[in-house]
Structure 1
């Protein structure tokens, strides 16, 4: 199931439930603006999801409605997760899907952080 990133925020989504503590996660990082946790179906040796704590459907929604503090805090959280995991030197990939064509599955903005092996080309040609 893909998400229409233009739809209103649905607070019944799995990430909203994780933020409320209704569903457990394997937390990597948390601050006032973001939560990072291991993906339950990892696509690389290191696969962490970083989500803002605010109710944002997509990157577009976040960039239009997020406060300066929320945006800066979220971006800094993504960088902190990568640095704390010592991923800067070997490298890592960030992926944020938005909408049906990108196959966004959860209607809450999230960034996938992939690492732990050479990841190959970004898209299959």
Structure 2
């Protein structure tokens, strides 16, 4: 199966491109949350965030920051910005080529993030922090 983002990066599929450089392309999402919804796509195929080298990953976020600024200055309706990266099926990733969503927000736009926002006990938080510390690269 062909990766749609690789096809876009390779010029084999159409895209509306507000920005591109040698490491990433930014394209307009064809099914936007709100008008102006952007996707920052690394040119190199990587299924998830862990598969992406750190320099390219940092560049994706740097360009995402730049795009968020551009959205606020664009004249499009934009009272806020969400930046979202879905990494893995459980995180709602649908296209398995890592990509960063950057989209304008405004009152009544219909987008919601719902969860059980329960407070965790400090001992559990400390145990989780330790597990993450141990997993950090040397």
Asked if 1:40 is matched to 2:30, the reply is: yes
Matched residues, number: 110
Which stretch of the first structure deviates more once superposed, 34-43 or 70-79? Answer: 70-79
For 1:115, the equivalent position in structure 2 comes to: 104
Choose the corresponding residue for 1:76, options 62, 67, 71. 62
For 1:101, the equivalent position in structure 2 comes to: 90
Structure ID, larger Rg? 2
Which stretch of the first structure deviates more once superposed, 12-21 or 30-39? Answer: 30-39
Post-superposition shift, 1:18?
A: 0.2
Distance 1:102 1:20 in 2: 27
Which stretch of the first structure deviates more once superposed, 37-46 or 112-121? Answer: 112-121
8 Å CA contact retained: 1:25, 1:38 = yes
Measured against aligned partners, the alpha-carbon deviations of 1:38-80 in whole angstroms (never above 9, x if no partner) come to: 1111111221111111111111222xxx152x23322211111
For 1:6, the equivalent position in structure 2 comes to: none
User: What's the secondary structure of 1:101's corresponding residue?
Assistant: helix
Give the alignment's TM-score, normalised by structure 2.
Answer: 0.69
For 1:52, the equivalent position in structure 2 comes to: 42
RMSD: 2.2
Q: Which has the higher helix share?
A: 2
Give the alignment's TM-score, normalised by structure 1.
Answer: 0.75
Distance 2:54 2:91 in 1: 25
Structure 1 stretches of 5 or more lacking a match?
Answer: 1-9
User: What's the secondary structure of 1:73's corresponding residue?
Assistant: helix
Structure 2 stretches of 5 or more lacking a match?
Answer: 117-138
